[in-house]
């Protein structure tokens, strides 16, 4: 009988240590391993290639995403870089126009000089996707919900179109987490995570991960993981494993608090518009209900009064911390145009809707009344 998510989060990939019986996966802080004979070892020869703590994490994340293979990386960006290393000069990549600023920066500022071609388009439109596909298109990259505008993209329909053309679909599932959304079951080929965020959940580690079902993709990416070397240390893997054990109950609280805050903001006279997939006002609310089991902990809203009003508001919050990143137990708040998405050219930001009035909130697991009081006082 298949174990439920909460049980797998605690136990998948994690066995008591055979030597000591330690219930927590040990931190194998070693660079190399003794071999019985040249080439004859216990499955580990060098820690860039494999490490037992990392193996446990990779198996655990794969189980949560209901995939066969998992790979852990030193950051979300190194996980993305590994995927792009499968491409060749002249290949074309379609990417959703609303993505994490670091993803855009890597694609637009780094990889273009290697003769990779990118189109950043509105992937909420399947017609737009089909119009932009070329003979050289090898990859479709999407976030759902997106960062920071929380657009919902129909993963199943997008993956079906791509698969019919032999194109790989990658879904950044960082915002939703496998607790609320499973892209592989919807047809995606690769799921990517910044484990820095919700999977770790405690704002004390940087990491990334990839999960897939196809063995050929896994073999290519495992080779690149080792060859390029963007791997996490064993202590980082231990921290993410520890964080994942409480992922289910944290995500329930994140989403519960986020909905209440979204409803509060939606009724506040100084707020122009609120974006949250759990609100019926969200343009893809029905899609969110169809492909997600919960709506996550990120709320985006537009404050009235422009940049000056946004700045004053952000300087006044006390319980919320003005900081980049998201997904920790503590509530964070930020200004995408100045902070996380500053790498996007101003005209690109304006085109997709990242204005100076836009504020992104990562709702933590504190008492929601304290969080609402903090926002109320800062808006006053």
Which residue numbers are catalytic?
A: 48, 100, 172, 197
Strand order in the sheet with 168-172: 69-73, 208-212, 190-194, 168-172, 137-143, 92-96, 117-121
Cα 191 versus chain centre, distance: 9
What tokens does 32 get?
């190399």
Q: Would you put residue 306 in left (φ > 0), alpha (ψ -120 to 50) or beta? A: left
Question: 137-143 and 168-172: which strand pairing?
Answer: parallel
* DSSP per-residue letters across 172-185: E-TTTHHHH--GGG
Q: Using an 8 Å Cβ cutoff, are 172 and 179 in contact? A: no
Which string of b and e fits 98-107 if b means at least 16 CB within 10 Å?
A: bbbbbbbbbb
Strand order in the sheet with 321-322: 271-275, 298-303, 358-362, 332-334, 321-322
């Amino acid at each position: 009988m298949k174990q439920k998510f909460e049980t797998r989060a605690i136990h998948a990939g994690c066995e008591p240590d055979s030597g000591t019986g330690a219930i927590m996966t040990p931190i194998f802080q070693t660079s190399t391993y003794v071999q019985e004979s040249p080439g004859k070892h216990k499955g580990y020869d060098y820690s860039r290639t494999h490490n037992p703590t990392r193996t446990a994490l990779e198996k655990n994340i794969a189980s949560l995403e209901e995939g066969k293979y998992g790979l852990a990386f030193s950051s979300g960006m190194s996980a993305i870089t590994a995927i792009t290393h499968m491409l060749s000069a002249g290949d074309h990549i379609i990417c959703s126009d609303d993505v994490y600023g670091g993803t855009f920066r890597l694609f637009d500022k780094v990889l273009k000089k290697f003769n990779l071609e990118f189109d950043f388009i509105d992937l909420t439109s399947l017609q737009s996707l089909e119009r932009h596909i070329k003979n050289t298109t090898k990859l479709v990259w999407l976030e759902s919900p997106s960062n920071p505008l929380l657009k919902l993209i129909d993963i199943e329909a997008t993956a079906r179109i791509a698969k019919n053309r032999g194109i790989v679909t990658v879904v950044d599932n960082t915002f939703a987490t496998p607790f609320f959304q499973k892209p592989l079951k919807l047809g995606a080929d690769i799921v990517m995570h910044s484990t820095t965020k919700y999977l770790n959940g405690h704002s004390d580690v940087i990491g990334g991960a990839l999960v897939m079902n196809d063995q050929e993709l896994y073999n290519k990416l495992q080779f690149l993981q080792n060859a390029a070397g963007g791997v996490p240390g064993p202590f980082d893997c231990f921290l993410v494993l520890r964080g994942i054990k409480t992922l289910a109950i944290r995500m329930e609280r994140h989403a519960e608090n986020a909905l209440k805050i979204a409803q509060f903001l939606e009724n506040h006279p100084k707020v122009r518009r609120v974006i949250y997939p759990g609100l019926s006002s969200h343009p893809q609310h029905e899609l969110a209900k169809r492909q997600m089991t919960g709506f996550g902990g990120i709320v985006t809203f537009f404050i009235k009064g422009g940049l000056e009003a946004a700045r004053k508001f952000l300087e006044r919050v006390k319980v919320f911390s003005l900081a980049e990143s998201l997904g920790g137990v503590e509530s964070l708040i930020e200004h995408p145009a100045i902070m996380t998405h500053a790498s996007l050219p101003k005209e690109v930001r304006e085109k997709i809707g990242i204005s100076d009035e836009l504020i992104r909130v990562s709702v933590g697991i504190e008492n929601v009344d304290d969080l609402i009081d903090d926002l109320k006082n800062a808006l006053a």
